[in-house]
Amino acid sequence: MPLADTEWDLVTMWVREYLLDTVDPHTQLVNHGFSGDFVGSLSLTSVSAENARALVQASRKDIQRQLKLIEVVSEVDRLAVLPDVSKAHEFHDRLREDYRLHASQDNFRTLVLKDGAEVFIDRQGLRETLRQFVDDPVKSVLLVDGEPGSGRSYTYNFIRHIGQHHGFRPARVTLSETSSADKVVRRLAEFVSDPRAGVSPLNPTELNDLLPSIDEAVHWVVGRATAVEDRFWLVLDECDKLAPSSDVFDFIGQLSLAIYEHAAVKGDQAPRLVLLGYGPTMRQLPYDLRGSICWDTAKAVEPADLRTFFDQYFHESPPGFLGAGAPEEATIAELVDVAVEEVLRATETDGGAGAEGYMRRICTAAEGTIRVYRTL
């Protein structure tokens, strides 16, 4: 299970106090087994707090580097004699298991997310589109359209899952009819600013309605997202809720172009843009981006999709009551039949006004079914 931000804050404190409290941080890190190329890529100074933050942020980009960092920290003599070393060993065990799963599984095919608490059903097209989007440095914008209730916004949950394994952090802003360019800029600026690193936040006085320059604000956000250690995916959700005349469309066009331009110079460190609910009839993005866009269309789960989902799940994680060894195909088929029937029965009624949408009810029912089978 990945470490939470608060747990990484604890690791950063250990690094500052016990590993990098030295006048020669480069030599210290090399002596502890970090490669010279990796150490050379870090912006190290004479301030241990800055060096600790730089090392942790660089290590968090890759699961193997995360494991290496925790291994080193847990073996530092000054920490080994303190009670905190037990917490360091716990982090090491968790990351080692996370690395094992990362190496043994195709994370783009994962069915159950968030340590078994959430499902992601079907969307085979999205999974492969995301694989292409992650692997292709030329791609900078991902568009996801589809009918309302088809799971467009739910795409964000899977993006968060992929981000944990591929070293980026999604920052989501949910749009509405009242959204404006300056509101979206302010929200994104909050995500990409890092007060702990001494970065000055965007000056609110420069964003009074109407924006003096959307282009200027866009380049500030993209420049900041590119400059910080974290890699960002900027996610704008429910784009179809915008009023047709909204200035957010102008902002989206300029944001996508700015990201495209930064990527040409900064490569993979530049942020990427994800637009959820952005259909083909909406305002076209700048022409220069025509080769940099990936597109996916969400569709509501059907019974056949549920059958495929549970068939894969029961093959990969047979219930404990089946005993050791591979279960018979007839047994798997029976489990699939029952699971699909239960999920569909649980989602037969819409619950009236204000109730959850169809896709949310499907996923909630599937999660409940899996919890039941895990207890058997």
Report in angstroms the alpha-carbon separations of 282 from 62, 246, 277, 278, 291: 36, 12, 10, 7, 18
Give the residue from 112, 82, 28, 106 showing the smallest Cα distance to 314. Answer: 112
More confidently predicted of 352 and 103: 103
Q: How far apart are the first and last CA of the chain?
A: 23
pTM for this prediction: 0.74
Three-state secondary-structure class, residue 276: strand
- The stretches of 34-80 forming alpha helices (DSSP H) are 36-40, 48-59, 63-74, 77-80
Which residues does 318 contact at the CB level (< 8 Å), separation at least 6? 326, 327, 332
Measured in degrees and rounded to the nearest 5, phi and psi for residue 232 equal -110, 140
> Six-digit token pair at 3?
């470490």
Measured in degrees and rounded to the nearest 5, phi and psi for residue 293 equal -110, 135
Distance CA 155, CA 61 (A): 22
Residue 296 confidence (pLDDT): 93
Q: Is the pLDDT of residue 291 over 50?
A: yes
> Six-digit token pair at 6?
């608060």
Q: What is the mean pLDDT of the chain?
A: 86
Q: How many angstroms from the chain centroid is the CA of residue 131?
A: 13
Residue 203 confidence (pLDDT): 56
Amino acid at 286: P
Q: Count of CB atoms within 10 A of residue 216's CB?
A: 13
Q: Is the pLDDT of residue 306 over 90?
A: yes
What is the mean predicted confidence (pLDDT) over 173-184? 93
Highest mean pLDDT among 83-87, 162-166, 372-376: 83-87
Distance CA 303, CA 319 (A): 22
Which residues does 15 contact at the CB level (< 8 Å), separation at least 6? 51, 52, 55, 56, 69, 73
Pair type for strands 169-174 and 141-146: unpaired
Distance CA 188, CA 220 (A): 10
Q: Is the pLDDT of residue 209 over 50?
A: no
Q: Which helix (H) or strand (E) holds 366?
A: helix 358-375
Q: Is the pLDDT of residue 204 over 80?
A: no
Q: How many angstroms from the chain centroid is the CA of residue 185?
A: 20
Amino acid at 256: S
Distance CA 79, CA 72 (A): 11
